Each structure stands twice: as C-alpha cells, then as structure tokens.
Amino acid sequence: MLFGLPNAGKTSLMSSAFLDLDFTEISNLKPTKGISREDFVFDIEIDLNMWDLGGAEKYITRYFSITQRELIFSEVNIGIFVVDSTDMKYSPKQMFDEFIFNIFSFSPYVELYVLLNKIDLKDSQENLIIKLLSSGLDITILKRIEFAHVSIKDGSAKRKFIEIIKLQVQNRLLNKKHEEIELYDLKRALDIHGTDFHNYCVSCNRRLHNRKSPGKYKNFKILTLRFCCSCYEEYENKTMDEFPKSFIRALNKKVKDYFEFKNEM
C-alpha cells in the first residue's frame, strides 16, 4: 500500500520501480483518482498486488471513514507512507497519525516504512519532518517504522522500494518453509506415537475421561488427535492442512513437551 499527501511521489515511485520509467517519463504523471490497484510480477514468479491511494482530501476522508477503513486497511503486508520533504505548507502529521492507527488496527503484522522523497532538492526538510511525524508516538510504534531518505530523481527511491519488496518476499518464503517443516514434523510425530502423548483436548486443553461417558467429556478422535465434544464439532470436517497456524504451533509444542517427558522417564 502506498499512502500520503498529494504530489508526494507515490505513483511516480511505483511507475519507476515496476514499469521501469525514468524521471523524465514520470515527471508529468497525473494525480491518482481514488485507489489505483495494480498487479505486478516480481522476480519472475512472485505476484504482487499494489494499492496506490490518491492523496486528495476527499479521498482521504473516505479512506478513514467508519464504513471504508476496515476494507482499505485490512490484510496489508507492506505499508509505505510517502512524504514530500520540501512541502511544509500542508502538515502530514494528522494524516500520518490516522494512517498509523488504522493500519495497525486492521493489519497488526504490517511492515511499515516512511519514505521522505525529494531530498535532492535544496529546500528539503526531511529531518524536521521525521521529528514531526515521530512526535507523540509510543516507542513501541516507532520501533516498527523505518524512515528512509530517498529521491525518485536520483534513483534512490526506486532502489529502496525494490529492497523493501525483496525483503518482504524473502520473509514470506522463509515463513512458508518453516510452516511446512513444522507441519511435516508434527504429522510424523503423531504417526509414530499415536494418541498416547496426552489425555487432554488438543484444542482447549480440557482433560479427557478415559472411561466411556454419555456426558459432554466423551473422547473423540480425528486422525490421531483427541478432542473434547465441543472442539470436535469445530474440527470434525477439517484436515490437518486446514488447521489454523496458531493451532499447529501449539500442537508442535505439545509434541516437543511429550518427547522431553518420555526421555526423562
């Protein structure tokens, strides 16, 4: 997601990075009206969906409205706030604070960057703008924001933008690999050791009864996992590949704890 005041260079940044346009070709681009959604292929096989949000006041008001903000700011992997470092006529502070609030509310794991554009110009005040945008923000929020001094004209903005995308792609591929390894290890452990590694519901940790019972604590099994009655209804028609990631991580911990316990016996 590209966000910021009008004429900050959002569309120019995207055009230079993905359409390989030089500065003379993008210097006369028209302002974005509303939201421009563009699909690009990165590194041959990575599909990217970019949202370039027009910065006119009428659009900004709409983005932050109660009816639109969840739709706009949900499921964002990378948020890039672009600032014209030469323009102090219209302070970006209020917009930036609302942007921070909404994007962290609806995309809590977003990677966030602030690109201070046009630093090649003599009247650039990027350090003053960083101080302005940082004022009043909690230290935990500031630690999650990376400020970068860039210029579309000298190519540094394009290089930084591509660096951000590459880092995000690498992290997602690495996380996917780790999840696949975790899922494989868990399946293998369950195949070997069966259901005897605990007598608790694998979802809610409620202790299960060994004896048959007509009550709601009756034991159930899905594959080699044991559930209480209420959790059984939730997972009854799901395969392990459809289980939530948080559930898989919790199961891995249970398996690890079981192995450690068995080794100590």
- H or E, element range at 209: none
Instruction: Clarify whether residues 108 and 27 are in a common domain.
Output: yes
The mean pLDDT of the chain is 77
CATH (domain of 82): 3.40.50.300
Which uninterrupted H or E stretch holds 84?
A: strand 78-84
pTM above 0.75, yes or no: no
On whether both 87 and 166 belong to a single domain, the answer is yes
Residue 181 lies in a domain: no
Cα torsion 24, 28, 31, 37 to 10°: value is -40
Domain membership of residue 185 (yes or no) is no
209 domain residue, yes or no: yes
CA dist 246 and 236 (Å) reads 18
The answer to whether residue 225 sits within a structural domain is yes
In a domain, 183, yes or no: no
- Per the domain annotation, does 71 fall within a domain? yes
Q: Has residue 228 been placed in a domain? A: yes
Kindly indicate the confidence band of residue 93, based on its pLDDT and cuts at 50, 70 and 90. Answer: very high
Q: Is the domain of 123 the same as that of 249?
A: no
Q: Is the pLDDT of residue 150 over 80?
A: yes
236-247 per-position pLDDT tens digit: 777 767 777 777
φ, ψ dihedrals at 38, nearest 5°? -130, 140
Q: What string of DSSP letters covers 218-255?
A: --EEETTEEE-HHHHHHHTT--GGGS-HHHHHHHHHHH
Evaluate whether residue 179 is within a structural domain.
no
Length of the chain in residues, anyone? 265
Task: Show the tokens assigned to 49.
Answer: 């969906």
Q: Considering only 145-149, 165-169, 191-195, which range has the smallest mean pLDDT? A: 191-195
Number of domains in the chain: 2
pLDDT of 259 reads 57
> DSSP secondary-structure letter at 242?
G
Q: What is the pLDDT of residues 169-214, one digit of tens each?
A: 777 666 665 555 555 555 554 554 444 444 667 777 666 655 443 3
Chosen domain end from 113, 143, 171: 171
Domain range for 122: 2-171
Same domain, 9 and 76: yes
Neighbour count for residue 83 (Cβ, 10 Å): 24
